[in-house]
Structure formats: C-alpha cells, structure tokens
Amino acid sequence: MIFGLFVALSASAQGYKVGDKVEDFSLKNVDGKMVSLFDMAEQKGVVVIFTCNHCPYSVAYEDRIIALDKKYKPLGFPVLAINPNDPAIQPEDSFEKMIERAAGKGFTFPYVFDANQSVYRKFGATKTPHVFILSKSGAELVLKYIGAIDDNSRNADKVKERYVENALDALLDGKPIEVKETKAIGCSIKDASAQ
C-alpha cells in the first residue's frame, strides 16, 4: 500500500506533459495587479518561464528572456515569468526584491509571484529557469514544449541550439516542433514543504 501511495504521489508531482491542456491561474505581478494566464490567451500562446532573482542560471538568462519577449510578443507569444521560490528559504526571492529586480533590469513582461507554490507544482517545474511553451487551441492553452531556453546557460555567445526559439518558430510556421522536451538546467526550486 505504501508503494502504491508513493507511485501516486510521484506521478502527481510530475505535472503537465507535452500535449496537455493547461488550467488557468492568477498570480500577483510586480506592479501589484493580478495576472491571469488566460488574460494572455488573446495571443497565439504564452511562454511561461519559472525563474527567480537569486539563481545564477536565472540571472545569466535574464537578457535572453527579455530578448525572447521583445521578439515573440509582437508575434503572439509573450513571456510570463513566474517566481516559484519560498522567500523564507531564499530571502532574495521575496516579492519586494522581485519588484526591485524587474525595475532594475527593465523587464518587458509580467513577473509574478507563485506565493503558495501551487502553480509550479501543477506545471511540474523543477528548476529556475524552466520553460513551458503554451499554444492556443480554440479556447484552450496546450503545452507544446518543456525544458531549457537553449544549450548554453553560461555563455549566450556560444549557444548552438536555441530550443525555445526553434519551438516558437515552428509554431508560427505551422510546422511540428522537432525537439519538444529538453532537460532544464538551473537551481532547484526552494519549497519549504519539500525540505
């Protein structure tokens, strides 16, 4: 019985898979307003990125995330950045520090706080950064890609594979995405219930 319970828990902890319909959620943005996933669904889709202030991988990707938003928002795929970390474990990821970070870096996208950590669990995010590309299908948002932004977290100049750009370009061209899943490289998500 315990083994069966463990299997059920681990299966539920895995989150969404490519092809799944994603449920709506509403989280507080750094401007104090609530942002709903489906508010953004007037677009062709949404690039959901779980990220944070303190993680060196997230920091290394900030300029690339801004560039993704600037390039793909006008084409119908805006970025929605979500901080999933518990500030009691990592104070640098508090809502107040998020406001400072977004202003200091000039974020062009919503940067929302998953305060009760329910959204990252639903998605199955494990790292910061961790990307989930959603595409509109009728009134639904369907998950099309999960994983890393590209193949070089340390050096943007040495990137050979741009996974997120390739996936978005394929969606925009009406073609199948060649690489639908990659391994997210980054810091573990700070969750008090997992300690």
pLDDT digits (tens, 9 = 90+) for 87-100: 999 999 999 999 99
101 alpha-carbon distance from chain centroid = 17
Domain residue extents for the chain: 2-194
C-alpha closest to that of 188 among 52, 59, 81: 52
Number of neighbours of residue 142 by Cβ within 10 angstroms: 17
The pair phi, psi for residue 81, each rounded to 5°, is -95, 135
Give pLDDT, residue 188. Answer: 95
Alpha carbon distance 195, 89 (integer Å): 10
Q: CATH number for 2-194: choose from 3.40.50.620, 3.40.30.10, 3.40.50.2300, 1.10.287.3510.
A: 3.40.30.10
State which H helix or E strand residue 132 sits in. Answer: strand 130-137
Give pLDDT, residue 41. Answer: 64
pTM of the model: 0.92
Residues 81-98 as b/e (b if ≥16 CB within 10 A, e otherwise) read bbbbbbbeebeebbeebb
Give pLDDT, residue 195. Answer: 52
User: Above pLDDT 90, what percent of the chain?
Assistant: 85
